[in-house]
Amino acid sequence: MIRSIHRHRTLRAVTTLAAFQLVGLTPSAKAALTGATLIGNTGTSITAIPDPTDPGRLLVAGRSGRINAIDLTTGAVSPYITFPGVSTSGEGGLLGIALDADYATNGVGYAYYTSSGTAGSALTSRIVRFTRDPDNPDRGLSSSITPMLSVAQPQNNHNGGWIGVSPNDGLLYIALGDGGGSNDTGTGHTSGTGNAQDITNNLLGKILRIDPHGDDFPTDDARNYSIPSDNPFVGNAGDDEIWSFGLRNPFRNSFDRETGDLWIADVGQNVREEINFQSASSAGGENYGWRLREGTIATPSGGVGGPAPRGATDPIYEYTHGFGSMQGNSITGGYVYRGEDASLDGTYFFADFVSSNYWARSPEGVVTNVNSQLFPEGAPSSPVSFAEDLQGNLYVLTIGGDLYRIDTTMPGDYNGDGVVNTADYDVWATAYGSSEMLDADGNGDGVVDAADYTIWRDNASSSPSAAVPEPSSLMLVFSLAAASTSLRRPPAAKK
């Protein structure tokens, strides 16, 4: 009986669909955030990135020094690589990971972690290179870990920690905080300016830009990188590695995978949290104002505030400290959405580690709180990072290791797996004509019909994983199904 109902629904679906396509109707569907799905837990975590060789997993870094891989379907966790000598003193630990632009072929990755400090410093920030295990490509090779760059940290906070490879130039960008303490003052901080405004023999409070494929320091085993010739201070006063400066603690940043724009979330001191934006067309050299400025105002504490430095770049968004729906105390930078949901394209998602508020910034610059949309039963506390997978789906990672996928009502994604493909067509065909099985009711009119097929077709056509049935093939299916029904019709009763 169930097979008969399914066959009849398929026949009605194909027949109605043919007529529907002949008149050329194109119903609309509206996408929106629908919640967040808990994928699994990786233990105490700090950041996550996609694995270019496996669209079904992320690599998740824990402060203690270990990177795990998490399966995005099952939530299963497996070890990837562990870094020795990691210090978690203060805000230290394994703080950032990135993979080379050619990781799929060369297996090269990069990590940022802190180790115990040397004389006069609390910690040492280290950038290292590693490679994938050639005998087990699902694992990193611990014996391959080699130093690239190190920077002494006078205190054990404000370490920055993010690293990333630009999708445009393939170079490695490194975020360093101002060295810690408060107001960029005291021991280990440049007198009169602070570290963030000091660009000579001082890499703290900066974004660095290096070429990880060269070596301009062949006699120095601890420095294994080259300087891009177009860095802003090459040939000018200032350290050659510096790309931009005037930052306090740029803890979580990201590149827009489509444009190459850089979004920098800088953790504030006492009153403001800020988002700085650097266009992919930038030649570098931006001064984001710290320690003179906290957001768009003079830093009100420590006696260090003042007018903005000449040519300083203001944040594109800031918020005040507090626990209101648009407030917080420690920004967690996120990503620009570039997944398959066109209605969210260009939306920047971010959060606050302390207030556990989650926000979305539209391409037009409008910021809204999305806690109730993502987490209707209560937002998880302490969001420490966002992540994206190879398909462009976004994820939230908490300090406790919970990984959530941000879900949308992507038009045509009838099975809710974040991709529009033939599996969604099967859901539509099975439910055709139903006013009860409404997973495939794409336009929300209360019945699954040919209009919902068009919604699927229009969105699947942009997905390489979907083979979209065209009218001619659908009519063939109809003919075969009709013939099958005729052959199986029971004979008439004898009179």
> What is the rounded CA–CA span in Å between residue 49 and residue 388?
7
pLDDT at 444: 83
Q: Which residue, among 221, 223, 243, has the nearest Cα to 232 in the 3D structure?
A: 243
With beta carbons less than 8 A apart as the criterion, state whether 391 and 400 touch: no
Per-position b or e across 301-339, b if 16+ CB within 10 A of its CB: ebebbeebbeebbebebbbebeeeeeebbbbbbbbbbbb
pLDDT at 464: 42
- 82-91, 355-364, 439-448: least confidently modelled range: 439-448
DSSP output for 215-230: -S-TT-TT---B--TT
Tokens of 296: 């768009």
With b for 16 or more beta-carbon neighbours within 10 A and e for fewer, the 224-250 pattern comes to bbbbbeebbbeeeebbbbbbbbbbbbb
Q: In the predicted model, what is the mean pLDDT of residues 237-252?
A: 98
The pLDDT of 80-98, averaged and rounded, is 98
At residue 101, does pLDDT exceed 60? yes
Beta-carbon contacts of residue 405 (< 8 Å; ≥ 6 apart): 36, 37, 39, 72, 393, 394, 395, 418
Q: What share of the chain is helix, strand, coil (3-state, %, to 5)?
A: 15, 30, 55
What is the residue-averaged pLDDT of the chain?
89
Calculate the alpha carbon distances from 138 to 15, 52, 74, 247, 369 in Å: 48, 11, 16, 36, 38
Place of tokens 């409404």: 438
CA nearest 243: which of 269, 220, 211, 290?
A: 211
As a whole number, mean pLDDT of residues 343-348 equals: 95
Query: Confidence class of residue 467 from pLDDT cuts 50, 70 and 90?
Result: low
pLDDT tops 60 at residue 135: yes
Q: What is the pLDDT of residues 422-444, one digit of tens each?
A: 999 999 999 999 988 888 898 88
The closest of 243, 239, 218 to 230, measured between CA atoms, is 243
In the prediction, which pLDDT does 342 show? 84
pTM score, two decimals?
0.83
* pLDDT at residue 484, as a whole number: 39
Instruction: Give 486's pLDDT tier (boundaries 50, 70, 90).
Output: very low
Residue 189 in this model has a pLDDT that exceeds 70: yes
Q: For tokens 């050639």, name the residue.
A: 134
Q: What pLDDT is attached to residue 19?
A: 41
Please name each of the domains of the chain with its CATH number: 2-30+415-488 (no CATH), 33-408 (2.120.10.30)
